[in-house]
Structure 1
Amino acid sequence: MAEWMTLIPAVVAIAVVLWRKEVIVALLLSLFSAELLLLIKGGSSVVGATAVGAVNTLEAMTTVLTDPGNARLLLFALMVGALMAYMRYSGGVAALVTSLVNRGVAKTARQSKLLAFWTGVVIFIESNLSVLTAGILSRGLFDKFKISRAELAYIIDSTSAPICILILLNGWGAYVLGLISPYALQDNPVSVLMSTIPLNFYAIFTLMLLFFTIWTGRHLAPMRRANEQLNKIDGHDEQEVAPTKARYMLVPLLTMIVGMVGFMLWTGNGDLSQGSGSKSVLYATTLSCVVAYLMLLLSKQYNHQQLVNIGFKGMSELLGLVSILLLALALGQSLKNLGTGLYISGVVAETLPLWLIPAMLFLAGALISFTTGTSWGTFAILIPIGMPLVVNLGLPPPLVLAAILGGGVFGDHCSPISDTTAVSAVAAGCDLLEHTRTQLPYALICAGLALVGYLVCGLVMIG
């Protein structure tokens, strides 16, 4: 089988999404084509592979659940649905919106957007926690000021992975540090990692463009149309509940944030950066659900059976996105087995002038992360390619590493099969395809600027 054929599943996914506007169908067909190619690669005939490919597609989805991290992520997505339902039915969301408006904290549309922006910036411990907190806090405000959920999804998604990769005092920093530590770099690995911050152009441009759009209110055409139409898909017309007390939202939300920090310390044996993000976010969200349930039960607004029904109703609202997440995780693993990422990186790394290497590594990272939906997987593929180039050719380590990190974040930020993209859509109550379609133009602008930045830096620092 020709190596270029490893790109077929990614092409199928993108083509079907653009043609039919159906994410689940696109992912299913893409996963099937990946499993088909794996069978052909293993020596099966086309006819035989077609018959067995359907079975292997189901097995690929089943295999996702055998990974504890994936299972936690899917369970976390369901628990988020229950948590948001408890907050909504308690009247706490409506009460907090009223309180913020009355206190002048969010009395205009711009202030509401800035609140979502700064919430995402402050919570840099874990990307899913960042989007979840900012999304839950801001949904009611965005509805009040007639701002689309697509714009909320764009704001919270753009202040999650880009912030995590810039501040680095989190699991992201620990993971990258572990990947670069084995290489004989001239400087200390921690120093190299810190030096990537001003060179991580994609993350910096993403935050700058986001702040510009919030402050000026100017948008590109897809987002402008979403705001004009106020798309009603997936929860934007959610049931109005009379305001009660803001504590019914604030206490569970604070429980989740504090719990996340506590569980990160616990799972990391006292070291926050070594904590398990997938465990901590699930434990913290579950604890928050329990707190919200108990508060509502003790308030006698609802009895036990009503609260159970509310929790399952919230979960059911997210089943579509959980299904998308399941398929995305399965596709990512199949593409890894197929070698899609390795093929892209190999093509980019061949016969390049030295000054072009950072720009091409960024481009490779962007393509790999967009087609596979994983930033950490992209880091794992490209850092073992980039760091030996640094050592053997004398390239500047921070520039090469920053290019890889920025490229990886691009896909995590805007790929329709990225878990962060899906969770951002969940937290904002926005249709996943709508979120991807409206955010992608901004991401492409920032990626283009970052590519130019790496070309210039390559010429100045290497060429």
Structure 2
Amino acid sequence: MEETVAVGAWSLLPAAVAIILAFVTRNTVFSLAVACLVGVFIAGEGLMGFPNLLKNALGTTAFSWIFLLELFIGVTIAFFQRTGAIRNFSAWVESCNMTRVRVQLSAWVMGMFVFFSDYFSPLFVGSTMRTLSDRFRISREKLAYIADSTSAPVSVIVPITGWAVFIAGLMIGMGPIADDADAMRVFINAIPYNIYAILAVVMVGAIAARIIPEFGPMKTAETRAENEGKVLRDGAQPLMSRELTDIEPFEGIRTSLFWNFVLPVLIVIGVGIGSFVVTKSALTMEAFLLSSVVAATVMRIQGVPLADIMETAMNGIKGVMPAIIILAFAYALNELSANLHTAEFIVAQTEGWLTPGLLPALTFLIAGIIAFSTGTSWGTFAIMMPIAVPLAFTFSGQELSPVVYATVAAIAGGGVFGDHCSPLSDTSILASTGAASDHIDHIKTQMPYAMVVGGISVAAYLVLGAMF
């Protein structure tokens, strides 16, 4: 499907079908596939439009990158489990006089610490804390929420991440923003106005510490886990397959927490942050490739047979395939939404309402709707920045002012808000994968929390807007 066609309100139908079917059937793959099929018919492509859509959407560098990243992460996690590294890490953490609350707070802090990659963070937090959280009867839905809400919200408010560089790059040439240095200064000044991202992270800590009690579907999930010992509901379909979650430690060798766990993690973090400092782009996939090679080498030196290492690696790849399949269809639906001009239709229906006082609040809501409908926050940024930021400069007389900073922050926070509510979101899919949670259960339990923070954010932007 290469041609683009504007079909007005019909462009909303594929995303609507995907979201409604996902909640009704609890089968994300089926829902996305049906949505893509509906979309190609709306575009007038017929049945052949479906395979053409998949070829165009998946035959890209962007999808190849996340595909390889997922594979190497799966291999790394498999090595962690085969060497007993996660078991050893869990035992070490548990020796620190852990409680149910402290386990959740540890996951919260860990998510904020791994700030440089929104893809690595939820997978790392979920996979490393899962054994411990299961032991303390914390629901997989809760673990997925902690992992999800400490990944993108942190990445979008830290200036030394790919998110910051991407958002800043979109602003160059707008108003008085002449170069990347000017754009980064605007991004930094906008951070205090990113109400959703800041409150989302704070709320995770407050929920984990029981300062704010659980409510909605999450309360049901936590009651089930704590009272019945069921970290997953009956009939749940964990997004990480058993080939990965059921790997047992290799017996007969002496493993090391440092060599089998800490060193591979340090390689990922070191290469990720180091490459970002040098090239302004975090080489996350390459970091996991190097980490996997080093981990395999250490295993061989410790006496694990080569055949066992390769079998473990293959089990790791098999384990992440459910997530990869969902990501593939999500990418196809994103391509379809772009071809049908879904975002442009949403913006066209709302841009006439914008005034200086309403601009941040409406920008936040529009960005949230686009991200919810397409499952991509970065795509939302690319669409909304060229529309809303120049409008903010028009209202401010081409000067940098609070209305500009609030608008930039509203776009960034709105994109993350929409992602947190959408079953199509790649970061939410990865959070479900890391926690081995049922993906729809994760979205259903996380959405009320996201909606509360989103509602507070809109109210705050309205108050700010009244001061402009």
Gaps of 5+ in 2: 1-5, 225-229
Q: Which residue of 1 aligns with 2:273?
A: 261
Which letter does structure 2 place at the counterpart of 1:220? F
Superposition map of 1:149-164 within 5 A = 149-164=140-155
SS of equivalent to 1:447: helix
Q: Is residue 105 of structure 2 the alignment partner of residue 98 of structure 1?
A: no
- Measured on the aligned residues, the alpha-carbon RMSD in Å equals 2.1
2:231 matched to 1:230?
A: yes
2:104 aligned to 92, 113, 116, which one? 113
Distance in 2, Cα, partners of 1:262 & 1:177: 20
Deviations 1:180-209 (A, max 9, x none): 121113894333222211111111221121
User: What letter corresponds to residue 195 of structure 2 in structure 1?
Assistant: F
In the alignment, does 2:13 pair up with 1:8?
yes
Q: 2: CA distance between counterparts of 1:64 and 1:75?
A: 16
Q: How does 1:15-30 map to 2 (within 5 A)?
A: 15-30=20-35
CA distance in 2, matches of 1:92, 1:404: 40
Alpha-carbon deviations, 1:95-137, whole Å to 9, x = none? 1111222244xx1122221111112212221211222332233
For residues 245 and 388 of structure 1, the distance between their equivalents in structure 2, rounded to whole angstroms, comes to 55
Instruction: Give me the whole-angstrom Cα distance separating, in 2, the residues matched to 1:186 and 1:254.
Output: 37
- Within 2, Cα distance between the matches of 1:367 and 1:95? 43
Partner of 1:437: 444
2:227 alignment counterpart:
none
1:125-177 Cα deviation digits (max 9, x unpaired): 12112223322331222122121222111111111111111112211111111
* Cα 1:296/1:453, change in 2 over 3 Å: same
Give the length in aligned residue pairs: 437
Q: Contact (CA 8 Å) 1:233, 1:431: kept in 2 or not?
A: yes
Q: Secondary structure at the match of 1:166?
A: coil
Measured after TM superposition, the shift of residue 240 of structure 1 is 5.3
Give the secondary structure class of the aligned counterpart of 1:146: coil
Match of 2:288 in 1: 285
Distance 2:354 2:264 in 1: 53
Q: Name the stretch that deviates more: 306-315 or 366-375.
A: 306-315
Bigger mean CA offset, 429-438 vs 332-341: 429-438
Tell me, yes or no, if the aligned pair for 1:125 and 1:164 is still in contact at 8 Å.
yes
CA distance in 2, matches of 1:343, 1:447: 23
SS in 1 for 2:156: helix
Matched, 1:410 2:413: no
Q: Helix, strand or coil for the counterpart of 1:61? A: helix
Q: Give aligned-pair identity as a percent.
A: 29
3-state secondary structure, aligned to 1:127: coil
* Contact kept? 2:19, 2:422, Cα under 8 Å: no
Q: Given residue 341 of structure 2, which amino acid in structure 1 is its aligned partner?
A: G
For residue 46 of structure 1, what is the aligned residue in structure 2? none
In the alignment, residue 88 of structure 2 is paired with which amino acid? Answer: A
In the alignment, does 2:46 pair up with 1:38? Answer: no
Q: Does 1:246 align with 2:257?
A: yes
CA displacement 1:51-99 (0-9 Å, x = unmatched): x3x3222222222332112111012112222211111111111111112
What residue number does 2:62 align with?
69
- Structure 1 stretches (4+) deviating beyond 6 angstroms? none
Residue type of the partner of 1:164? S
User: Residue in 2 aligned with 1:216?
Assistant: 210
Partner secondary structure for residue 209 of structure 1: helix
Q: Contact between 1:349 and 1:357, CA under 8 Å: does it hold in 2? A: no
1:244 Cα offset (Å): 4.8
Q: Deviation at 1:385?
A: 0.8
TM-score normalized by structure 1?
0.89
Contact 1:348 1:361 (8 Å CA) reproduced? no
> Structure 2-normalised TM-score?
0.88
Task: Please report how far the alpha carbon of residue 324 of structure 1 lies from its aligned counterpart in structure 2 after TM superposition.
Answer: 0.2
* Cα separation, 2, equivalents of 1:65 and 1:27: 14
